Amino acid sequence: MNIAVIDYQGGNVQSVLFALERLGVTSAVLTSDPDVIRRADRVLFPGEGEASSAMRALRAAGLDKVLPTLTQPFLGICLGMQLLGRHSTEGPAGGTELLGMLPFEVVRFAPPDATHKVPHMGWNNLHDLQTPLFAGLGTAPPKSDTQSARPADATPTAADYVYFVHSYYAPVGSYTIAQASYPAGVPFSAGVRYRNFYGVQFHVEKSGPVGEQILRNFLEGDLR
């Protein structure tokens, strides 16, 4: 299987490649070549950073035109998920126009008081899981304590955690396939989907056995 990991100068790419290696994947290629991306069996779109800079890099490589035309299973991670939306309030005045592949606007968390921090960072559990991307995982109600440590030897369970680091989020909508909640009680999309395009707001590559299960589902599942 050929795996294309999109290179647009976003952060955290090496962690994604290491996560694939742990699953036995040796065919992943870090690339910005449209032809290589089109021929891939699966496409991963990782990212850490800022929306307007990421979009400039995608446009410079012509990938803003290529990515929406792909038909193979596609997974955006963190910023890579957010960039699938229409618009982000992050960036210069007026925000940033995104790829427009899913009908959401990315907005910044608005903490109600000084005890709630931005970014939303740490372990938080998922709920209302849908689609084969989350096969093998259960569902659980939201839990407010996102800083709880996750045991190193834990295995996926209904109340398990994934790792988030983000200041901006996609609201819950018809495209949402997994939810989580900001500590102030604000629900947001932890997973999204439109046709073959999937995205997760958390870092699968840093989420232990749960993240590995999701990556395995992406690589092996029927996600078209």
- Catalytic positions are 78, 203, 205
Q: Tell me how many degrees the CA angle 212-214-215 measures, rounded to the nearest 5.
A: 65
The 3-state DSSP class for residue 121 equals: strand
The answer to whether 218 and 198 have CB atoms below 8 angstroms apart is yes
The Cα–Cα gap between 155 and 124 comes to 15
Number of H helices, E strands in the chain: 6, 13
Residue partners of 71: CB distance under 8 A and separation at least 6: 196, 224
The 3-state DSSP class for residue 27 equals: coil
Amino acid at 104: F
Q: Is 78 exposed, middle or buried (0-12, 13-18, 19+ CB in 10 A)?
A: buried
Q: Tell me how many degrees the CA angle 130-89-82 measures, rounded to the nearest 5.
A: 30
Structure tokens at 35: 């032809």
Q: With the C-alpha atoms ordered 101, 107, 108, 112, is the resulting torsion angle positive or negative? A: negative
Q: Which residue has the tokens 């957010």?
A: 82
